Amino acid sequence: ASHGKSIDISAFPAIVELFAEPKTVRLLDSDLPEPMRQGFNSILGGRAALVAPVTIREHTFGLLGFVWSEPRDAFDEHEVALVEGIAVQIGTALERDQLSAEVMRLRSVLHERRAEDRIIGQAPAIRRAIELALNVADTQTSVLIQGESGTGKELLANLIHYNSRQKEGPYIKLNCGAIPETLLESELFGHERGAFTDARQRRRGRFEEADGGTLFLDEIGEMSLAAQVRLLRVLQDGEFTRVGGGEVLKADV
């Protein structure tokens, strides 16, 4: 059998009519009228073929053909079943890809709608804040959101994440004001075993957990100046070390 060739059958109305119904067609050049036989022999180099429809949700997506260069008197049912089985597998794989793409698209739309719909208000300042959030979402940069408690900083952070390039990545949130100063660095950067009392095993920090996604740090103003300086260095360089460790780690957040 020959392989690796394709043909646009739209140029052959008689062949189009032959494949109008979604069923496997057995082609023997001895049964084909001229000029179909000449086209079959010259274009595909075939003397016989089995052509099965590739269907997605009961609609014919394309045709799968196996062409024999030697003449055949007939095809047995095992050969037909093999070609049809391969066509079914191709259709299933294509349908799965289409469904996955549709799920991803709908999930993205849902996230976008949820994030923006939760921000209630038509005042120019609110609309301007949403516009700025959507603009920075397209950039690979850290964003500082300022505002009084309860003004919707987290809603803007959600809007930025779900419209960013990393929206399919993890979205980690941490209230820095709720973490004791002595544990904050461990919470952010992780720690090695034995780094301090009760550090019985290595622990990943929030930066590692958020790698490839977004890290939302709330109430950073409650952090000490020393902690803010170290955080700034990490945001600038993307590099950090776990508490008690010497290995330099990187996180794409």
Task: Profile the chain (253 residues) by mean pLDDT over runs of 10 residues.
Answer: 54 60 73 63 70 81 80 84 90 84 70 60 82 86 86 87 86 87 86 81 88 90 85 86 87 85
> Quick one: pLDDT at residue 216?
92
| Residue-level pLDDT at 215 | 92
Residue 154's domain comprises: 121-164
Whether residues 92 and 175 fall in one domain: no
Question: Can you give the pLDDT at residue 2?
Answer: 44
Q: What is the pTM of this model?
A: 0.52
Residue 179 inside a domain? The answer is: yes
Residue 155 included in any domain: yes
Phi, psi at residue 232, to the nearest 5°? Answer: -60, -40
The pLDDT score that the predictor gives to residue 220 is 87
Residue 107 lies in a domain: no
What's the domain count of the chain? 3
CATH code where residue 18 lies: 3.30.450.40
Asked if residue 93 and residue 33 are part of one domain, the reply reads: yes
Which of 34-49 are b and which e, b meaning 16 or more Cβ less than 10 Å from the residue's Cβ?
Answer: eebbebbeeebebbbb
pLDDT of residue 179: 86
Together in a domain, 27 and 66:
yes
Same domain? For 172 and 234 the reply is yes
Q: Do residue 241 and residue 214 come from a single domain?
A: yes
Q: Domain end: 54, 69, 102, which one?
A: 102
Residues 50 and 95 in one domain: yes
Strands 48-56 and 25-28: antiparallel
